[in-house]
Amino acid sequence: MYLGLLSILLLVTLLLWRTYSSDEAQPATANVDEAVAEALASMAETSEPAISALVYRAILPSLVIVQTDREDEEEGFGIGTGVVVNADATVLTSLHIVDGASEVQIAFADGSESHAIVSGVDPERDIAVLTPTSLPGLIVPATIGSSAGLRVGDEVFTVGNPLGLVASMSAGVVSGLDRDFKVSGSDQVLRDLIQFDAAVNKGNSGGPLLDRRGQVVGIVTGLVNPSEQGVFIGIGFAVPIDIAAGAAGGPER
């Protein structure tokens, strides 16, 4: 009898303790969640911009839209990306964007537009140099870096006009160096390329590959897709800027 009563008292005590603990824990959890939310909101207001945001701001004034018209009705209108590389508004882009075009038009970051002349080409590297026939009100050349110091795993960014979505940014890392890439529908093989996994699609070609300092370290040239549908699966390629710069009149480094 005595043991049975003691067992009941212990059971009641245990149930009360569980109930009390549960009731006390819920407000405490709610307070912690609220405190975390307030702390994150405060950090968002006071923290420095992300590296990617700073890189984007740095390159945006130097970015151009490259538009082409072709006499072949099947190919018709095309769009790509380019980057201003010196004070006379010379633009570096991919040759395959402008090759065979009947007309090339470029739109600068300030909204001004100009016809452009293909003033230099490097077919082996898929690089073209465009000279505008009229200058924008503000010329902001990109900062040219060096691809020589790139390492696999380094963070990189692309900014371009994928699928017509103007000035879109993506981020990734260097996936490989000194890669070879066979151009789709051609026997041409581009060599010594930078492989990266930042997302690129049609319209990104000719745009800059950037490092964390906002410096151009490559010119985007293509992507790999086994389905041949031209959509990104995680493998993009860029011509190292140390090589591409030679097409714009500078020495290869």
| 228 lies in some domain | yes
pLDDT digits (tens, 9 = 90+) for 133-166: 999 999 999 999 999 999 999 999 999 999 989 9
Residue 114's beta-bridge partner residues? 106
Rg of the Cα atoms in the chain: 28
| 110 lies in some domain | yes
Is 228 in the same domain as 177? yes
Can you give the pTM of this predicted structure?
0.79
Is 175 in the same domain as 240? yes
Is 118 in the same domain as 189? no
How many residues appear in the chain? 253
Is 192 in the same domain as 127? no
| 162 lies in some domain | yes
d(CA 130, CA 99): 12
**Which residues form the domain of 217?**
155-248
> In this structure, what CATH number is given to the domain that contains residue 124?
2.40.10.10
| 91 lies in some domain | yes
| 9 lies in some domain | no
Nearest Cα to Cα of residue 61 among 137, 130, 157: 137
Would you state the pLDDT for residue 32? 63
| 29 lies in some domain | no
Is 124 in the same domain as 189? no
Q: How many folded domains does the chain comprise? A: 2
Residues with a known catalytic role: 96, 126, 205
Is 173 in the same domain as 109? no
pLDDT digits (tens, 9 = 90+) for 181-236: 887 777 889 999 999 999 898 899 999 999 999 999 999 998 776 555 556 677 89
Nearest Cα to Cα of residue 206 among 58, 83, 57, 114: 83
Residue 235's beta-bridge partner residues? none
d(CA 189, CA 12): 80
